[in-house]
Amino acid sequence: MNKWTVVIVGLVFTLSVVATGLIVGFAVRCSDSNDDQTIAPTTPPSVTLPLDWWQETIIYQIYPRSFADSDGDGVGDLKGIEARLDHVTSLNVRAAWLSPIYESPMKDFGYDISDFVSIDPIFGTMGDFDSLLEAMHKKGLKVIMDFVPNHTSDLHRWFTESKKIDPNNYTDYYIWADKRDCKTLICKDACMNMEPQGCPPNNWLSAFGGSAWEWVNDRAKYYLHQFLKEQPDLNYNNERVRQEMKDVLRFWMNKGVDGFRMDAVSHLHEQPGYPDEPLSNNLGAQDDEHGYLDHIFTMDQPETFERIREWRQLMDEYGEFNDKHIFSVAEAYTDLETMTKYYDVADMSFNFELIPIDEACHTGYCIKERIDGWINQMGTTSRWPNWVLGNHDNHRIATRMGEAYVNAMNALLLLLPGTPTTYYGEEIGMLDHGNITFNETRDPYGLNFGPDRYQEFSRDPERTPMQWDSSDPAANFSTSNDTWLPMHPDYKTTNVESQDVVDDSTPLNVYKALAQLRAETAFRTGAIELADGSDNLIVFGRNDVNAGTKSYLVIINVGWHDQTYNHASGSKSKVAMQFGLEFSVDDIVDITAGISLQPAAFIVLEVYD
């Protein structure tokens, strides 16, 4: 008997599940090994019923600059997104997250905001946004905005006032600090010929490389920027700043948006006194890289969780008054233990445990370990699972794992318990554009490291325009020959139109089928029973606690070699979906006879007695 704890309508029950079922008692026999793998079922997260909308949907991330260009300027815009909503809904998606569309000088492509309550003209007008919002709601799509609370643009009115000799009410809207005297031992060699600014207040480093401090002559002080120098950090010790940012949330909630992705929240607060941070001792990290230091004074500070808790309370109050739930998800690249703290103050914290999956993590053992790590850390609490394979800051999964594995990895993403997030283009297996030259590079993270090292850091390869069809000049993303980033040259063969055909093996059609299968009760609310890892296979069962619901067995070959799955019990099974095998949907399969899966193949079986 396996003891699974399930939370139903706020009450905790202990449910006993008889181990006659999905995977208990099975053995996996490798094609190159006689060793059998045994089962160690993973304790599933709890389920609170009924589910809210954000727990039932797939979240689809739209990077507006790269999704669809309606006016031919080579940059995506709001009207372009509206024209492509049918594609989004065809994926069985019910929520879309829009990366920043606010007024911005675009030093960091929208994450440097000069006005939090205006639309940047490159994307359109507020009227265009209102039209998009209405269209999305009519199609049953929830709208999640990117809330960027850590910093503003250096052209924001608050900062232009704050840096003046007489900054009036904006004196402490940002983090200002005095210089270190050049006569001190620590600064003697570092700031020769750097009077009057001396040297920075401490050794803190920007996430984009180099010092996190910038000197302003008028105030004769340094300001903190944990990203670009054009992105000064707000001072959340200032009550007026806290109120200003609450007003931003109120503005967009009043507009009718349904939730917020909260950007870079790990950086909201810093240790008072601004002490130097210790070295990280990360192998290979150079002294100008963020990873060179251990960020114990600039990330995940206790006050950070209080700020997010205040925003969550504001959203809850608004939602209660307006009879809707305002969704919140935190972006925090941090360890699993700290991630649980973000879960306690938001609906979710993005789970990035699948982001490191690549050629170095291409086995069932490795991937199971990453899934186990997250589930074990979350435990049997009410923290809702979620999974992310890619986003605008990380290489695409087709590049990390190989094009052949796109379907297999989407199966993993969509059939694990909880809320999956899909980055635009991953439904058709878009690849990174690995041949963008330094002169074509737009990402400041890459540019900061110069022509010799830009490819190590640039995020442009995963941000290239969406590939809608094979037409010239730009795959129907734009009519322009000069798109903001160059099109990936494979758009002639990898595009939506070429995959939206009768062939059910195209990545797009596989994705749609998986999204439809995910709507089954076992996948939406069911527990997960995860098999021991193996060289190539990741195997898990999904079953719901309610009598009469279907149970499923998912077998995915994520490795480099063929491998056979053997089930020791006599359960009958019917093919619900497959890729790379010779079965058809509804075929009856004797799983005790063994199922051989080649690399990148997967099968989903409905299992019954």
- Residues with catalytic annotation? 263, 331
List 555's β-bridge partners, or say none. Answer: 539, 603
Largest Cα–Cα distance in the chain?
Answer: 81
CA–CA distance, 309 with 304 (Å, rounded to integer): 9
- What is 544-591 written as a DSSP string? -SSTT--EEEEEEE-SSS-EEEE--S--EEEEEEEESSS--TT-EEEG
Q: Starting at the edge strand that comes first in sequence, how are the strands of the sheet with 176-177 ordered?
A: 176-177, 221-224, 213-216
Positive or negative, the Cα torsion across 230, 234, 240, 245?
positive
Q: Are 327 and 142 in contact (CB under 8 A)?
A: yes
| Structure tokens belonging to residue 51 | 């589910």
Measured at the alpha carbon of residue 522, what is the angle toward residues 521 and 527, in degrees to the nearest 5? 130
Number of Cβ within a 10 Å radius of residue 501: 10
CB 526 within 8 A of CB 517: no
Quickly count: other Cβ atoms within 10 Å of residue 392's Cβ.
18
- Pair 199, 179: CB distance under 8 Å: yes
> Which among 429, 426, 432, 427 is positioned nearest to 487, based on CA atoms?
432
E strand or H helix at 260: strand 259-262
Instruction: Scan for tokens 């063994």, then name that residue.
Output: 594
* Total residues found in the chain within this entry: 609
Bond into 420 cis (ω within 30): no
